Structure 1
Amino acid sequence: MTGAAVRAGAREVIEAVVDAGSFESWNTPPTGTGADADYAAALARARERSGVDESVLAGCAQVAGRPVVLIVGEFGFLGGSIGTVAAERVVRAVERATRAGLPILASTASGGTRMQEGTPAFVRMLDIVAAIARHRAAGLPYLVHLRHPTAGGVMASWGALGQITLAEPGALLGFLGPRVTELLTGAPMPEGVQTAENLAARGHVDALVPIEGLRQAITPILDALLDREEPCSPTAPCPAIRPLDADAAEVWESVEATRGPDRLRLSDLYRSGIDLLTPLAGTGHGRPAVQVRLARVTGIPCVLIAQDRHAEHPLGPGDLRAAQRGMALAEEWKLPLITLVDTDGADLSPTAENGGLVFTIAQCMADLQNLTVPSVSVLLGQGAGGGALALLGGRHVVATQRSWLAPLPPEGASAIVHGDTAHAPELAKRQRIGAPDLLAAGIVDRLVPEPKGQTAHELADAVVMATVSALLEQTGLKATTTAAPQ
């Protein structure tokens, strides 16, 4: 199943990640294992064969000049299994990292709980989970890299609790290994299920990263999560926002414009000051209806939740659960949250209903309202129904001049009121769905003008700068702007 994966030892992982010569071991010699003669002999052989004293190595090192706590599994020691000594080593390392205010990188490789120790070792997973929960509650980063293989109690505890989860390509990852699963159930696990690639495709792993690329992958993540001793400000001056066009188009023209092929795309924004650092996948690969990312906006680290109207499938409950994850991480990390809203509506399929679509819409609205970190919601174009409202509850709402927000697409409202779709333009105006009306009603705090002749790139620049200004206002800072055009 995972023939492409090669087992790297714990020391190899440490050497690949840390600044040369910077690792300081926190390990103390194992004592009091209570092992019988056979188990004691097995431990002695494991120490001799692996060159380490237990299945976990822990310590502190510099990674690109930053202090980071490393907790690294060693599969060569009794299959990386976790007994009471190894569990205690993990707990103490996590607690020490929490006291010192340091981030953790956990790199797992384990078959799970050590069977020679049984239940006393098994229940120590609860202690590990509790320590990690306290670490995360303190606002400290907990990053995980899943190596080949990781299964059992390790996968189901400290392997699955990463705020960001990376995985070694080709790694076998699962609840129980395929051999044990087949023996217990009488049926083989289907090929390809317990793989890093499958978990990434289903949104449970954020990125596939080989060991040799791990240092490069985590460095920008640590930069974004830790470079916040002083309030951030943009790294470049913000261009002034142009005045609103007094001759704005009729609302139906705006509706049609937001549906056009030349309309502003996420890729335009990503070229205008939004730098994507790492995915917070949630919904898997491809083009999900919601992209969740750790990002920088003109240098300001943030969590970005962006609806993509060019997605491969309609906005569904899985997308909104990914958005909830992004909100929770922004709160844990004390980072600003930006939501980008542009949707023609949520999925209307039985699958979406069965998946709890309405519950995820409601929960997203509640979670966004309850955030304590700065937040900005940006209405980029289409804002149809609950799918749009789910992500529009930021403390400050920015809208492009041609954007709109409605309980249903105008054609849907027309079908309800008139029994046809022909009255959509009339209802769009009557329902006051256009951005200027939203501004007048106090639903939107700021409009980004869309003058005639404006390119998508120019609009993207203006949207990014309006978003930055809204963020800075919440932190008491002001953006430096260039002169306004005459």
Structure 2
Amino acid sequence: MAEPWSAREAVRQVADECTFEELPYGAVAYGDLPYETVPYGDPPPEPPDSDGPLPWPGYAAARARAEQRTGERESVVCGTAAVGGRTVVVVSFEFGYLGGSLGARTGRRIEAAHAYARAHRLPVVSLIATGGSRMQEGLVALGQLQRVAAQSALTRAAGLAQLAVLRDPATGGGWATLGAGADVILAVEGAQIGFAGSRVRPTDADPAAYTAEGQRAAGAVDAVVRAGELRPVLRLWVRLLAGPPAPAAVPPPYALGRTDAPPTGREAVRRARSPHRPRAAAYLDAHLRERAEVSGDRAGGTDPGVLCGFGLYEGRTVAYAAQTGTATRPAGYRTAARLIRLAGRLGTPVLTLVDTPGAANDAAAERAGAGGAIAEVFAAVAESPVPVTTLVIGEGGSGGALALAAPGNTWVTPDSYFSVIAPELAVAILKRPPDEADATADALRLRPQDMAELGLARGLVRAGPARTDRPA
């Protein structure tokens, strides 16, 4: 196992010192939520020797042994704690209690913890170590997944962040609800993660697919974190997702490269394709502080050519999705769409940086659903309830670039261009000689100043003074 923490030790590993307060068990109402709607804690008392709802022979004795071994009455401990000075609701699994399995009492505790979070406007942090649903309770236990999923959906609709820390192991329904359903997913290095537990996988299954690292490569996990580094990483995420968002649209970054507008279309293309031009990472470093990245499309893929995440602009949280100059793959578009929609739920304004020769158009990209992925980003930008600001910093290659551009709030740098098609491809389609590419570039009116004159950009950004809030 990657780490042998108990439920309470896991809380101590991430929370500020001496701040955890366990929620009381029993008939308790929170805020305007009546007990009948949100019963917290245990189901109605059963006889001490009850073997549960099936009944399952020996179940009562197994629970008694689990209680004696762990000191817990159930497989989750729920409460509030401070993480980096901000109060969160914590749901922490006790794997030593029947493998951290979800039973009826587990579901009720998680249900009410989410209700408490909504009543008090707090983010939820789940520290997950579970083998899945409790077989001794059969369908009663399996049905808890629906209750947990419903609570997660209500918390999401309330605009509150949900973060998951996947401990070892994180499998079955706990992974498929609280884990995979979280907004940001961190995994402890070396943890076993997957819907199938170790004893029910196909015998020929690749074990690497069921690891934190494998899930990160498959786009299902945002980051793999060493156990000893969880506290600072989680503190940053809580600060970014639970702190105050920027109150208005993000201003576009200053230009970091050329400051004079290109005289011709061919020169605009040459500048944008220069290997010496500043790229997305340089703009993010200059404009934002304390960034944390989300990764993966939650559908099996990642694209290192698209940087997505959250950062601080003048002390307030903003979200960003930035192309890095490569052809954008379907996973990159889906990750950007996920980021933009999450920012919308949290009320966080978005900055997008456009820089791509276009969408990837190879056979693998088509099989991965390139068209649908691009459509997702167009829709996410169009539907965004928060302001989106765009800066074109390099190549603006057709619809693959336009998908990330904010209508009415797009800016351009002097070393960028935007075109319906690359000049070389245009002459090929028009069956013109290759040496007519320069003239075609002019005819396409793809220069940054052309974008402004055509009403597709608000204007060119210029170089500015050194920012006082730049990272050192």
Report the TM-score, using the length of structure 2 for normalisation. Answer: 0.87
Q: Is the 8 A contact 1:258 1:382 kept in 2?
A: yes
Quick one: distance in 1 between partners of 2:409 and 2:249? 18
What residue number does 1:127 align with?
147
1:357 alignment counterpart: 370
Instruction: Please point out which of 57, 69, 72 is paired with 2:92.
Output: 72
**1:68-127 Cα shifts (integer Å, max 9, x gaps):** 110000100000001000110000001111111011110110000000000011011111
Is 1:53 aligned to residue 73 of structure 2?
yes
Of the candidates 102, 108, 111, which is equivalent to residue 91 of structure 1?
A: 111
Question: Which residue does 1:303 correspond to in 2?
Answer: 319
| Residue 350 to residue 232, structure 1, CA distance change in 2 (3 Å) | closer
Task: Choose which of 192, 201, 216 in structure 2 pairs with 1:200.
Answer: 216
Cα displacement string for residues 193-237 of structure 1 (whole angstroms, at most 9, x for unaligned residues) = 1000011122211111234322211212222233328837999xx
Q: 1:128 to 1:285 in 2, by over 3 A?
A: closer
Contact 2:248 2:387 in 1 (8 A): no
Where does 1:315-464 land on structure 2 (aligned, <5 Å)? 315-449=328-462, 459=463
Partner of 2:292: 278
2:137 matched to which residue of 1? 117
Output the CA distance in 1 between the equivalents of 2:190 and 2:237: 23
- Per-residue CA shift, 1:355-395, capped at 9, x if unaligned? 11112212211220111201101111111122111111354
Letter in 1 for 2:176: A
Q: Does 1:251 align with 2:265?
A: yes
Q: 1:287 to 1:263 in 2, by over 3 A?
A: farther
User: 1:15 — aligned with what?
Assistant: 12
Partner of 2:188 in structure 1? 168
Using a 3 Å threshold, how does the CA distance of structure 1 residues 254 and 239 change in structure 2: closer, same or farther?
closer
Identity of aligned pairs, percent? 33
| RMSD, aligned α-carbons | 2.6
Match of 2:29 in 1: none
Q: Could you say which residue in structure 2 is the equivalent of 1:262?
A: 276
8 Å CA contact 1:17–1:215 kept in 2: the answer is yes
Contact 2:128 2:179 in 1 (8 A): yes
Q: 1:371 to 1:286 in 2, by over 3 A?
A: closer
Kindly state the Cα deviation for residue 239 of structure 1 after the two structures are TM-superposed.
8.2
User: In 2, are the aligned partners of 1:336 and 1:374 still within 8 Å (CA)?
Assistant: yes
Q: Which amino acid aligns with 1:128?
A: V
Q: Deviations over 1:267-317 (max 9, x none)?
A: 3223313235211101599971211111223433111100011x5xx3111
Cα distance, 1:253–1:164 mapped onto 2, change above 3 Å: same
Partners of 1:280 and 1:240 in 2: CA distance: 25
On the 8 A contact 2:323/2:354 being kept in 1, the answer is yes
56-65 or 86-95, larger mean C-alpha shift: 56-65
Q: What letter matches 1:32 in structure 2?
A: P
In structure 1, C-alpha distance between the alignment counterparts of 2:445 and 2:421, rounded to whole Å: 13
Secondary structure in structure 1 of the residue aligned to 2:229:
helix
Picking from 76, 82, 87, the partner of 1:62 is: 82
Q: Distance in 2 between matches of 1:132 and 1:372?
A: 21
Quickly say closer, same or farther: Cα 1:214–1:115, change in 2 above 3 A. same
Separation (CA, whole Å) in 2 of partners of 1:243 and 1:355 = 37
Aligned-pair CA distance for 1:7: 2.2
Amino acid in the other structure paired with 1:165:
I
Conserved? CA contact 2:250–2:350, under 8 Å = no
Q: Aligned partners of 1:358 and 1:335: how far apart in 2?
A: 27
Structure 2 runs not aligned, ≥5 long: 26-40, 52-56, 468-472
Q: Give 2:470's aligned residue.
A: none
Counterpart in 2 of 1:24? 21
The structure-2 alpha-carbon separation of the partners of 1:230 and 1:420, relative to structure 1 and needing over 3 Å to count, comes to closer
Query: Structure 1 residues 49-58 or 357-366, which shifts more?
Result: 357-366
- Tell which deviates more after alignment, 258-267 or 138-147: 258-267
Query: Does the 8 Å CA contact 2:100/2:132 hold for their aligned counterparts?
Result: yes
Paired residue total:
441
